[in-house]
Structures are given as C-alpha cells and as structure tokens.
Amino acid sequence: GAVVSQHPSRVICKSGTSVKIECRSLDFQATTMFWYRQFPKQSLMLMATSNEGSKATYEQGVEKDKFLINHASLTLSTLTVTSAHPEDSSFYICSPRGYGTEAFFGQGTRLTVV
C-alpha cells in the first residue's frame, strides 16, 4: 500500500493556540486530500476536501476559518486548527488520494486542548 505520513501523532496544546497537522503522501501524488475527524467510539466524519492548488470544500457545519486547510503541493497538505478550544479535542485523520489509487489514510493525530 501507499505510504502516508501524518505528523504529529499526538499533540497537547493550550486553549487559544493554533495547531498544525501535516499529511504527506510519500510515494504517490495526492491530487485530492480528505480530512476527517473522529470522536471516541464514533465513525469518521468528513470535514473537508481539497484539490491541489485549490481552496478546500468544507462539509456543512465545519468552520472554514477555524480549520484551515492548505494543499499547495501534490505531496503535502496541512490542517491548522486555529484558536483551539477543548471541544476541538479529537482524532484527526488525513486521506490523500491520487488518480487511480484507492483511499489511504494517515496514522491520525490525537489533539488534546487543555
């Protein structure tokens, strides 16, 4: 399977600060990037979809000014949680996709806002 690197795997931050999560596709070009959020014992909820070089499309109910997505290259996308609050604590997972590839997933990032 394809190699996807998501970093960091865990992060603890203070309320009001911003956190950046990186997702890299190491052996294929990710034309599309999906960002998911997962609460404990729940399914993955799609937050946004981005295509390389374009603005992200956010799902209903997801604040685009709070969850900033950058997909400037075919191998790197970032999700920045701005002015984080405890309710933003969650497990975030990226899923890069290229043409003709299946869905691969990053290892996930456990964000805890204190």
Partner 1 sequence: AQSVAQPEDQVNVAEGNPLTVKCTYSVSGNPYLFWYVQYPNRGLQFLLKYITGDNLVKGSYGFEAEFNKSQTSFHLKKPSALVSDSALYFCAVRDGGGATNKLIFGTGTLLAVQP
Residues forming the site for partner 1 (CB under 8 A): 1, 4, 6, 9, 31-32, 34, 41-44, 46, 49, 91, 93, 95, 97-108, 110
User: Residue 106 Cβ, how far from partner 1 at the closest point, in Å?
Assistant: 5
Nearer to partner 1, 44 or 68 (CB): 44
User: Residue 14 Cβ, how far from partner 1 at the closest point, in Å?
Assistant: 22
Distance of CA 49 to the CA centre of its chain: 9
User: Residue 35 Cβ, how far from partner 1 at the closest point, in Å?
Assistant: 11
* 26 Cβ contact partners less than 8 Å away, ≥ 6 residues apart: 2, 3, 4, 5, 75
Nearer to partner 1, 65 or 102 (CB): 102
Strands 76-81, 67-70: pairing is antiparallel
Strands across the sheet containing 76-81: 4-7, 19-25, 76-81, 67-70
